[in-house]
Amino acid sequence: MFTLPLGDTARLRPLEPWHAPEFLAHIDRARPHVDPWIPWATFSTDRASATAVLQRYADKQAQDTARIYGIWLDGTLVGGVMFTRFDSASGVCEVGCWLEAAGEGRGLVTRACKALIDWAFAERGMSRVEWWVAAGNTRSVEVARRLGMTRDGVLRKHTEYRGERRDIEVWSVLSEEWPSADCEVEAEVKAELDRLMHAFLGAFTNADGSRPDLDAVREVFIPQATIIANTGGTAGVGAEPVVYDLESFIRPREKMLTDGTLTEFSEWEVAERTEVLGSIAHRSSEYRKSGIRDGERFEGSGRKTVQFVRTPTGWRMSSMAWEDM
């Protein structure tokens, strides 16, 4: 039986008939959130009926027409995702979800649905994944949006539930619209490199009552990092670059930012281009800065190049060079 991690303490795995007691206890907790939207939850009121629901999905999985999976958080079943319809002949399937309150706000359903959609497109060659949601179920609609789906339209008064006919919104994503696993990984890496750059620039800020945090510079760089100032070259005079190790770069800047020499200082990126090449990456960046030095207001701009490496503890900066303009 497979288990797919959804975070530090969350897991996705098949939900099978032998889970019926655990499933029933979960549905009892989830009923206030689930019952208004998912009719089949109403059918799980005791162990026999809960077993019947899970057995029905087990039978459909054997026929390759549906599947159901549970989401466990800290060892407790808190929700799940499913293929409510799976038609390999037409290449169309439908994904659904449910969640009790204890699992909300963690992105578990979105990550679990991504895993199902990845499998449907990459492994099974499906062409279209649908998401059917009762109009007014705003949480479910938000999941569809986060998955990058398009709202195709509304089936008016399509479904009757508890004596009321409901409008059903149909959302979908096509295989050619779904990002590949490589694209997903690259996007995650880019977000991490963005975070490192933001942390580096923010470490020097002492504007608006902020306190500089030069320890953040030590955290974003590897200990052997090289930092180079090439500001003399901008004027064309051919000045030698100034090469720092990490501590010789940090110490004078920490002093200026804390002894009153440089106040109301901030530096921010205005443009960047980042290239990821496996376990190394490069970023070209343009920045601006402003502050008060020795009592006089100043503004400036410049360019940086940054090299990154992936280490056993995550991405870090390995070198940086900059010039002021």
pLDDT per residue over 206-250, tens digit each?
Answer: 988 889 999 999 999 999 999 999 976 544 556 789 999 999 999
Most confident of 36-45, 97-106, 127-136: 127-136
More confident of the two residues 90 and 163: 90
Last residue of some domain: 126, 155, 178? Answer: 178
Q: Containing domain of residue 42, as a range?
A: 4-178
Do 22 and 161 lie in a common domain?
yes
Do 166 and 204 lie in a common domain?
no
- How would residue 4 be classed by pLDDT, with cut points 50, 70 and 90? confident
Do 157 and 223 lie in a common domain?
no
| pLDDT at site 235 | 45
Q: What pTM, to 2 d.p., does this model score?
A: 0.59
- How would residue 136 be classed by pLDDT, with cut points 50, 70 and 90? confident
Residues 6+ apart with CB under 8 A from 297: 290, 291
Angle at 59 between CA 57 and CA 61, to 5 degrees: 70
- How would residue 41 be classed by pLDDT, with cut points 50, 70 and 90? low
Most confident of 115-119, 157-161, 230-234: 115-119
96: domain CATH number is 3.40.630.30
Residues 6+ apart with CB under 8 A from 29: 100, 101, 102
Number of domains, the chain: 2
Do 145 and 15 lie in a common domain?
yes
Last residue of some domain: 178, 211, 244? Answer: 178
| pLDDT at site 219 | 94
Do 116 and 58 lie in a common domain?
yes
Got the DSSP string for 169-226? EEEEEEGGGSPPHHHHHHHHHHHHHHHHHHHHHHTT--GGG----THHHHHHEEEEEE
Do 150 and 228 lie in a common domain?
no
Do 65 and 207 lie in a common domain?
no
- Separation of first and last alpha carbons in the chain: 60
| pLDDT at site 186 | 75
233: domain CATH number is 3.10.450.50
Last residue of some domain: 154, 178, 202? Answer: 178
| pLDDT at site 63 | 97
Do 155 and 188 lie in a common domain?
no
| pLDDT at site 138 | 85
| pLDDT at site 320 | 97
Do 248 and 261 lie in a common domain?
yes
- How would residue 317 be classed by pLDDT, with cut points 50, 70 and 90? very high
Do 214 and 308 lie in a common domain?
yes
Do 10 and 152 lie in a common domain?
yes
Do 235 and 143 lie in a common domain?
no
C-beta neighbour count of 9 within 10 angstroms = 12
| Window from 64-73, 140-149, 184-193, 214-223 with minimum mean pLDDT | 184-193
Q: How far is CA 148 from CA 95, 130, 158, 171, 188, in A?
A: 14, 12, 24, 10, 16
